[in-house]
Amino acid sequence: MAHVVVVGSSNTDLVVKTERFPKPGETLVGGDFFLFQGGKGANQAVAAARMGAKVTFISKVGKDLFGKQIQEGLEKEGISTRLVLEDPEKATGIALITVNKQGENTIVVAPGANASLSPSDIQAALPSLHNHAFILCQLEIPIDTITFLASYAQEENKNLILNPAPAQKLPESIYDQLFLITPNETEASLLTGMPCDSEADYPKIAQWFRDKGVRQVLLTLGEKGTYFQNSTQEYRIPAQNVTAVDTTAAGDVFNGSLAVALAEGIPWKEAIALATKAASISVTRMGAQASAPYRNELV
Ligand code: ATP
Ligand code: RIB
């Protein structure tokens, strides 16, 4: 069985459906309300577990009802909560999400306990990471924690996958510690300072990351699919044509599924195709973790 380590956030998602997004200062009457388990880290962990991997998940929640519900949800997915730490001082992370008629979203996150997942927490968890080759992380936890993890991955020859979401600038030193970076168009543009709007932009963006030492680059392009580049291969893989209900966590399902495929030794092109299929299913369903498909749905 493939084994993937995921380090990242856990949130409770408070979701309201709405015809359109409100303008600044405007109050809108929306539609249905949903409470979902979310957070980029937890979403990727659940997506990976549903792909059939054993998942080691490192995260932090508050000592409150939402934190307890998150831990129960993870246990139901077969993910141990031994490394889902509790911060007695802070609330569990919350995401306020609106989803419009086209399935697009806006998200505001209150990080709460996610902001206190520290390098020393990772240090304490290192014995659980030793035997595992693939580590997946995102940017909803402190950057010091990410850079600590990246240095560990480099020293111990682990394959670190960074999904640089939500977008924020990264320290230069991190790039040559990355096995794979998976920005979306906004993140790619913010990190490189270059446009990421057209087919001609994608190879240049990927080359920018590779010049800094990232071994492989995969740009996720929403309904346009993905662009992949490493030193020997380049692929442009289209998305599947589906009707989007809620695109929340499409990127998370993509990353979690891709990490599992790579940990299973599946070649790049097939691994990306599998993650593309998983993400396309997720956008046809409401919710973050709730939308992640199981492996047997990918036939
Ligand atoms: P999010 O922030 O919504 O979780 P993201 O911005 O990190 O997502 P995207 O590039 O939007 O990531 O989506 C990741 C992948 O999911 C895409 O590469 C594509 O394969 C799939 N996907 C996203 N949106 C759609 C869509 N409308 N139809 C089909 N597939 C989609
Ligand atoms: O990527 C989607 C996730 O972003 C949501 O589940 C929300 O919690 C925010 O972290």
Q: Which domains does the chain show, CATH number per domain?
A: 3-9+39-90+113-298 (3.40.1190.20)
What pLDDT is attached to residue 49?
Answer: 98
Distance CA 95, CA 15 (A): 8
Residue type, 90: K
Mutate to test the pocket of ligand 1, among 241, 280, 289 (most ligand atoms within 8 A of CB): 280
What pLDDT is attached to residue 299?
Answer: 84
- Which residue ranges of the chain lie beneath pLDDT 70? none
What pLDDT is attached to residue 130?
Answer: 83
State in Å: Cα 253 to ligand 1 middle.
9
What pLDDT is attached to residue 214?
Answer: 98
Q: Which long-range contacts (CB under 8 A, 24 or more apart) does 164-169 make?
A: 164/138, 164/139, 164/191, 165/40, 165/138, 165/139, 165/140, 165/251, 166/109, 166/139, 166/140, 167/139, 167/191, 168/139, 168/143
Mutate to test the pocket of ligand 2, among 6, 9, 11 (most ligand atoms within 8 A of CB): 11
What pLDDT is attached to residue 28?
Answer: 95
What pLDDT is attached to residue 281?
Answer: 98
Could you report the per-residue pLDDT of 114-137, keeping only the tens digit for each? 999 999 999 999 999 888 899 999
Q: Is the CB of 242 under 6 A from ligand 1?
A: yes
Residue nearest to atom 1 of ligand 2 (CA): 249
Handedness of CA 169, 170, 176, 177 (dihedral sign): negative
Q: Is the CB of 252 under 6 A from ligand 2?
A: yes
Mutate to test the pocket of ligand 2, among 140, 184, 289 (most ligand atoms within 8 A of CB): 140
Q: H or E element: which one contains 270?
A: helix 268-282
Residue nearest to atom 7 of ligand 1 (CA): 251
Q: Is the CB of 225 under 6 A from ligand 2?
A: no
Question: Does the global pTM surpass 0.95?
Answer: yes
What pLDDT is attached to residue 131?
Answer: 83
32 is catalytic: no
Report helix, strand or coil for 198: coil
Name the active-site residue from 64, 121, 246, 252: 252
Residues 6+ apart with CB under 8 A from 73: 37, 46, 289
State in Å: Cα 251 to ligand 2 middle.
10
What pLDDT is attached to residue 21?
Answer: 96
Q: Which ligand is nearest to the CA of 220?
A: 1
